[in-house]
A and B are shown apart, each in its own frame.
Chain A
């Protein structure tokens, strides 16, 4: 059971932290691709990152590498960073403007807070 209102509050908290550095975010269930909360939501990105994450997980497993842990980052063109956070059955994607958001804030503050907030939303 997931409380979507708590997810909305977590997204709002994320917007407050990253301010205009957060271009878009979605939190979705990876089994059905249903977005549960977000900001400037991107259905195409939801489908894309569900597939990328699954491929990455199987490629790592097949190669005998350690599995993904909390998140992974992609440095993209146009001064953008994509971050994908693993919340168990939920995935969260974020598109960040590198010129407006601080990588330290993203990794040390925003992502850990998001992980905690989604975990709380799932246990309610």
Chain B
């Protein structure tokens, strides 16, 4: 004869305890029921949707960026227009124009302290450009949590830099657009 189990896992005892603590909100699940492997009442099986061929999502169409329109001869207006155009048509939260000494000519959404790093940056690139085949008139720089993408254009009065600050660096295409816009703007400055 088998001795009666004193284990706390005695199914009847556990079921009784469960029914006490669970109250009336939810019927206690009998351990025997669980132990027997009985499944819960079967749920309605959802209808199987017709299988559709998996198609890779189309890459987003490149955004068409209109060429900058400079309607004023005033240098300050032209620089402000360039900054506004950059903010409107490129992924950035701040934009600026600086000279090659790092002095701000126009800016929005970026401190002058950050703009001032353009001075040493462009100075450092002078020696980089001495390497044959290296243009080094555009690039991106990590500023803590942000990326500063920049392009440079040179005039008789020295170099000027257009920068855009955002979470990601700008694409090569975007940098080309920035450079063209900067060159157009500087024609009247």
Binding site for B on A (CB under 8 A): 16-19, 102-105, 107-109, 112-113
Closest CB in chain B relative to A16 CB, distance in Å? 5
Contacts of B158 in A (CB 8 A): 108
0 or 1 for each of B90-106: is its CB under 8 Å from A? (1 = yes): 00000000110101111
A112 to B155, CA, bound (A): 12
B105 pairs with A108, CB closer than 8 A: yes
Contacts of B104 in A (CB 8 A): 102-104
Closest CB in chain A relative to B155 CB, distance in Å? 10
A104 to B79, CA, bound (A): 12
Closest CB in chain B relative to A70 CB, distance in Å? 12
Q: Which residue of A lies closest to B97 (CB)?
A: A104
Within 8 A of A (CB), among B30-82: 74-76, 79
B74 pairs with A16, CB closer than 8 A: yes
B157 at the interface (CB under 8 A from A): yes
B121 at the interface (CB under 8 A from A): no
B167 at the interface (CB under 8 A from A): no
A108 pairs with B157, CB closer than 8 A: yes
User: Which of B101, B105, B157 touches A105 (beta carbons < 8 Å)?
Assistant: B105
Q: Which residue of A lies closest to B156 (CB)?
A: A112
Report which residue of A103, A109, A113 has the largest number of chain B beta carbons within 10 angstroms of its beta carbon.
A109
Binding site for A on B (CB under 8 A): 74-76, 79, 98-99, 101, 103-106, 157-158, 160, 189
A104 pairs with B103, CB closer than 8 A: yes
Contacts of B189 in A (CB 8 A): 109
Q: Which residue of A lies closest to B78 (CB)?
A: A109
Closest CB in chain A relative to B62 CB, distance in Å? 33
User: Which of B103, B157, B160 touches A103 (beta carbons < 8 Å)?
Assistant: B103
Q: Which residue of A lies closest to B157 (CB)?
A: A112
A112 to B189, CA, bound (A): 10
Q: Which residue of B lies closest to A111 (CB)?
A: B157
Question: 20 A-B pairs, CB-CB below 8 angstroms?
Answer: A17-B75, A17-B76, A19-B76, A102-B104, A104-B103, A104-B104, A104-B105, A105-B75, A105-B76, A105-B79, A105-B105, A107-B99, A107-B101, A107-B103, A108-B103, A108-B105, A108-B157, A109-B105, A109-B189, A112-B157
Given contacts A109-B105, A112-B157, contact A104 B99 (CB under 8 A): yes
Q: Which residue of A lies closest to B98 (CB)?
A: A104
Contacts of A108 in B (CB 8 A): 99, 101, 103, 105, 157-158, 160
User: Which of A16, A102, A112, A113 touches B105 (beta carbons < 8 Å)?
Assistant: A102
Closest CB in chain A relative to B143 CB, distance in Å? 19
Contacts of A18 in B (CB 8 A): 76
Contacts of B103 in A (CB 8 A): 103-104, 107-108
Report which residue of A19, A105, A112 has the largest number of chain B beta carbons within 10 angstroms of its beta carbon.
A105
Q: Which residue of B lies closest to A18 (CB)?
A: B76
A108 to B105, CA, bound (A): 8
Contacts of A103 in B (CB 8 A): 103-104
A18 to B98, CA, bound (A): 16
